[in-house]
Amino acid sequence: LLDQVREGSRQLQPDHVDLLLQSVDCLRGMLTALQAGAALDTEQSKILIQAFNDILDGRQPVAPGGEQALSNETPSSPPVAASQCQEEEITWHIQFVPDVNLLRTGNEPLRMFRELAEMGELEVSVNLDRIPDLAGLNPEECHLSWDLYLSTGRSRSEIEEIFEWVMDESDITITATAGLFTNIATPQAEEHELIAEPDVMGAAEAEVQNTVKPADKQAVTKPAQQNPAAKSSESTSIRVSIEKIDSLVNLVGELVITQSMLGQLGNEFDMEKLQKLQEGLAQLEHNTRELQESVMRIRMLPISFTFSRFPRMVRDLSKQLGKKIDLKLVGEQTELDKTVMEKIGDPLVHLVRNALDHGLESPAERRAAGKKETGTITLNAFHQGGNIMIEIIDDGKGLNREKILNKARTNGVIGESEVLSDEQIQELIFQPGFSTAEQVTDVSGRGVGMDVVRRNILELNGSIEVRSVEGEGSTFTIRLPLTLAILDGQLIDVGSQTFIVPLVSIVESLQPDMKLINHVAGGCDVFRLRDEYIPIIKLWEVFGVEPRSKDLADSLLVVVEAGNAKVAVVVDDLLGQQQVVIKSMETNYKKVDGISGATILGDGTVSLILDITDLIYMAGEHQQSKNGLKLISNKTRAA
């Protein structure tokens, strides 16, 4: 068959691809059986060979489409799943109690249940015991747990692989039971309402019902998620709990601090007499940095783990919306910290949904605009300047500036006579509850997506920007740190205290011209930087520190930015830049407004790391910029 396709004498059809994939799956199952010393079941291979012969001889299988065709050809014998190729089946009882933050990490129970259903017969029962009362219900938290009964010939290890990404954060028990399924009273329709993602129910409901409910097994199941031959690659990797990795990262952090202390101590001696000490310290610094980078790479994973969810999602939603969409994934091997990758999943889903619903036009609209009927969404990831950049690009209709302005005026976000630049208009879409959708759909338009996107990204010390050309499309660019454990910071002095400002947040540092500083109603000073009026934050007032001088003429201003809003922080001096190890304040003490963490400097003193998003929020609570837009960070402050 493949020879004929290569020679051009036969056109490859979707049914042919299905049959080829089923054959690969059966071969993997046979290989697994051989490795386990089990007897081979040759019935499956005979069915597949007959199907290939029918195609080569010009005959169609009994029912085109591969799976049903093969099951219909052997009505007298019980069907055998391709993933099994073994005779004996076991019914496994799986108790799945996920962490309440499961959904925030981008993991979907429905996806895991689909993969289990492809292994054999699956029944699902949902438990509602953990659901709080209405007042305490958070839609972003998972309060459900499940009992699953899976009848399959697959091994325990293969079942555990499906839960691999949630194993550390969930309570999962897998036990073999005698006999087949027991009847479960939970209505199936109710299960689907509870486990399915609401935004894709219209497109996926029929598939879920066919997938989850017990039914006669087909001869060949879908091979996409199956990996029976995984044993052959077990020696290439090792699974380590995240707690062990975090412990190793902390130890390396302590080593970095020790190296910094020795380096600072060495600088206090006469280096001409202690040349060997200087050389040793330089080598220690070099080795420490290499060790640190190597350990941090252990936590790195390719972003393909996050990108892999989107082809299916785009396919389902494009059918639901009646649009033709081509999804392009670029830079899938770009690596970033596992924690960052888990938390960026939901913002990316929001952005892709918005591009599908609001950005890309219908085929008829694209034809009328002189475009190809098929729209394109591109997810592009790459490294830049110690950060990871993720671009979400669509070639749709772009942002409708007039519509955004009208909606903003209607909602009272801006005044009727306000004139905004293109950049300021685009920023309006990140306002809480802002949406120009004329009606709410299952996909988007509820006015919560973009606000949540920015808030989640800011909490990762990242930023998001939007560029849009009406009629041509939009590009959302997300900038994220590669890791949340290490920070490149600028050390600043305020009185006797040393603080650290993340370098990624700094716009510029300058000596203020007193003619450009104005006092406004409400007790706040603002600094005019080119065409912007920037609120001034005096850290000695925020944290109760006695400064060297309260005269702004004797101080420096560090202009910082988060979410395209800026403030100017008053400092006594700039001490230099340093890479520091972040220690959590909330873990060791409690949440402190304006502080994101702490670190230990080379001289052993503890330095606080400023939370720029929180500082901007503090300024935005009371002040407005010249154009009347609130200076907000869109961050919900912790209680």
Q: Mind listing the pLDDT tens digit for each residue in 130-155?
A: 888 777 777 778 888 899 999 888 88
Q: Which two tokens stand for residue 44?
A: 């499956």
In terms of phi and psi (left: phi > 0; alpha: psi -120 to 50; beta: otherwise), the region of 571 is beta
Asked if the model's pLDDT at residue 381 lies above 90, the reply is: yes
C-alpha distance across the termini of the chain, in Å: 65
Per-residue pLDDT band at 619 (split at 50, 70, 90): low
Q: For residue 491, which of 469, 509, 477 has the smallest C-alpha distance?
A: 509
CA separation for the pair 249, 98 (Å, rounded): 26
Give pLDDT, residue 212. Answer: 40
The answer to whether the beta carbons of residues 529 and 512 sit under 8 Å apart is no
**Residues 297-339: pLDDT tens digits?**
777 888 988 898 898 888 888 888 889 999 999 999 888 888 8
Beta strands in 339-400 (DSSP E): 374-384, 387-394
Q: How many CA atoms are closer than 13 Å to the CA of 195, on its beta-carbon side?
A: 29
Which ranges of 109-237 does DSSP label H, i.e. alpha helix?
109-117, 156-162, 188-195, 201-212
Give pLDDT, residue 244. Answer: 73
Q: For residue 592, which of 611, 574, 565 has the smallest C-alpha distance?
A: 611
Mean pLDDT on 172-194: 53
Measured on CA atoms in the order 459, 461, 464, 465, is the torsion positive or negative?
A: positive
Asked if the model's pLDDT at residue 380 lies above 90, the reply is: yes
CA separation for the pair 261, 578 (Å, rounded): 13
Q: For residue 138, which of 114, 104, 107, 172 has the smallest C-alpha distance?
A: 104
Give pLDDT, residue 326. Answer: 93
Angle at 31 between CA 25 and CA 34, to 5 degrees: 145
8 Cβ neighbours under 8 A, 6+ residues apart: none
Asked if the model's pLDDT at residue 538 lies above 90, the reply is: no
**Residues 486-500: pLDDT tens digits?**
788 899 988 888 999
Angle at 375 between CA 369 and CA 381, to 5 degrees: 135
Per-residue pLDDT band at 473 (split at 50, 70, 90): very high
**Residues 566-612: pLDDT tens digits?**
889 999 889 888 878 788 777 777 778 888 888 888 777 888 998 88
Asked if the model's pLDDT at residue 249 lies above 60, the reply is: yes
Measured on CA atoms in the order 183, 184, 185, 191, is the torsion positive or negative?
A: negative
342 Cβ neighbours under 8 A, 6+ residues apart: 104, 105, 106
Weakest mean pLDDT among 61-70, 393-402, 466-475: 61-70
Per-residue pLDDT band at 200 (split at 50, 70, 90): very low
Give pLDDT, residue 476. Answer: 93
Q: For residue 577, which of 509, 513, 511, 529 has the smallest C-alpha distance?
A: 509
Give pLDDT, residue 218. Answer: 36
Q: For residue 65, which of 241, 233, 249, 219 has the smallest C-alpha distance?
A: 219
Give pLDDT, residue 637. Answer: 34
Weakest mean pLDDT among 248-252, 274-278, 441-445: 441-445
Strand partners, 105: none
The answer to whether the beta carbons of residues 595 and 502 sit under 8 Å apart is no
Asked if the model's pLDDT at residue 63 lies above 50, the reply is: no
Residue 623's H or E segment, with its range, is none
Give pLDDT, residue 107. Answer: 77
183 Cβ neighbours under 8 A, 6+ residues apart: none
383 Cβ neighbours under 8 A, 6+ residues apart: 334, 389, 482
Give pLDDT, residue 335. Answer: 87
Task: Map residue 538 onto helix, strand or coil.
Answer: strand
Q: In what order do the strands lie in the sheet with 374-384?
A: 324-330, 374-384, 387-394, 473-481, 463-469
CA separation for the pair 412, 38 (Å, rounded): 71
* Cα Rg of the chain, angstroms: 29
The answer to whether the beta carbons of residues 453 and 464 sit under 8 Å apart is yes
Give pLDDT, residue 395. Answer: 92
Give pLDDT, residue 634. Answer: 34
Residue 639's H or E segment, with its range, is none
CA separation for the pair 219, 597 (Å, rounded): 56
Residue 385 DSSP one-character state: T
Measured on CA atoms in the order 196, 197, 202, 207, is the torsion positive or negative?
A: negative
Per-residue pLDDT band at 235 (split at 50, 70, 90): very low
Give pLDDT, residue 45. Answer: 84
Give pLDDT, residue 272. Answer: 63
Count CB neighbours of 78 within 10 A.
Answer: 10
Mean predicted lDDT score pLDDT of the chain: 75
258 Cβ neighbours under 8 A, 6+ residues apart: none
Give pLDDT, residue 484. Answer: 73
**pLDDT greater at residue 257 or residue 143:** 143
Q: Which two tokens stand for residue 429?
A: 């879409």
**pLDDT greater at residue 68 or residue 361:** 361
Q: For residue 239, which of 338, 310, 152 has the smallest C-alpha distance?
A: 338
Q: How many CA atoms are closer than 13 Å to the CA of 305, on its beta-carbon side?
A: 18
Give pLDDT, residue 88. Answer: 62
Give pLDDT, residue 393. Answer: 94
Strand partners, 171: 97
